[in-house]
Structure 1
Amino acid sequence: MQPATVHLVIPCYQESGRIGPFLTELCEVTKGLGDVSIRVVEDGSDAAEAERMREIITPLCRMHAHLHPPLFLPQNRGKGGAVYAGWDQAPEVDWLAFVDADGSCSATEVANLIHLARKQSKPETALFASRWDQTSPRVQRQWKRRLMGRIFGTLVATLLRIPIHDSQCGLKLVPRTAYQRIAPSLRIQGFAFDVELLAALHDSGCGFEEVSIAWHETPGGHVHLIRDSIRMARDVVAIRRRRGQH
Structure 2
Amino acid sequence: MSPLLEVVLPVHDEERALPRAVAQLTAHLATLPWSWRVTIVDNASTDATPQVAAGLAAAYPGVRHRRLEAKGRGLALKAAWSASDAAVLSYMDVDLSTDLRALLPLVAPLVSGHSDLAVGSRLSPTSRVRRGPKREVISRGYNLLLRHALHVRFRDAQCGFKAVRADAATALLPLVEDDSWFFDTELLVLAERAGLRIHEVPVDWVDDPDSRVDIVRTAVEDLRGVRRLRRAPALPRV
Q: TM-score, normalised by structure 1?
A: 0.86
Q: Which runs of no fewer than 5 residues in structure 1 stay unpaired? A: none
**Structure 2 vs 1, CA of residues 52 and 22 (structure 1 numbering), >3 Å: closer, same or farther?**
closer
Give distance in 2, aligned partners of 1:85 and 1:123.
26
Aligned Cα root-mean-square deviation (Å): 2.2
Partner of 1:87: 81
Out of 69, 72, 77, the residue aligned to residue 74 of structure 1 is 69
The answer to whether the 8 A contact 1:128-1:172 is kept is yes
Out of 100, 104, 116, the residue aligned to residue 93 of structure 2 is 100
Give distance in 2, aligned partners of 1:74 and 1:48.
14
Give distance in 1, aligned partners of 2:171 and 2:147.
23
Shift of 1:47: 6.0
Q: How does 1:15-164 map to 2 (within 5 A)?
A: 15-33=14-32, 34-46=34-46, 48-55=48-55, 57-58=56-57, 61-63=58-60, 65-67=61-63, 69-76=64-71, 78-90=72-84, 92-118=85-111, 120=112, 122=113, 124-133=115-124, 138-164=128-154
**Structure 2 vs 1, CA of residues 193 and 13 (structure 1 numbering), >3 Å: closer, same or farther?**
same
Shift of 1:133: 4.2
1:93-126 CA deviation, whole Å, 9 max, x = no partner? Answer: 22111111111013322244234543x2x26431
The answer to whether the 8 A contact 2:118-2:164 is kept is yes
Any idea what SS the aligned residue of 2:213 has? Answer: coil
Give distance in 2, aligned partners of 1:108 and 1:83.
22
Q: How many residues align?
A: 233
Shift of 1:162: 0.9
Shift of 1:233: 1.2
Any idea what SS the aligned residue of 2:9 has? Answer: strand
Moved more, 45-54 or 184-193: 45-54
**Structure 2 vs 1, CA of residues 66 and 112 (structure 1 numbering), >3 Å: closer, same or farther?**
farther
**Structure 2 vs 1, CA of residues 37 and 141 (structure 1 numbering), >3 Å: closer, same or farther?**
same
Any idea what SS the aligned residue of 1:19 has? Answer: helix
Q: Which runs of no fewer than 5 residues in structure 2 stay unpaired? A: none
The answer to whether the 8 A contact 2:8-2:80 is kept is yes
1:139-186 CA deviation, whole Å, 9 max, x = no partner? Answer: 111111100000100111111111122100001111110110122211
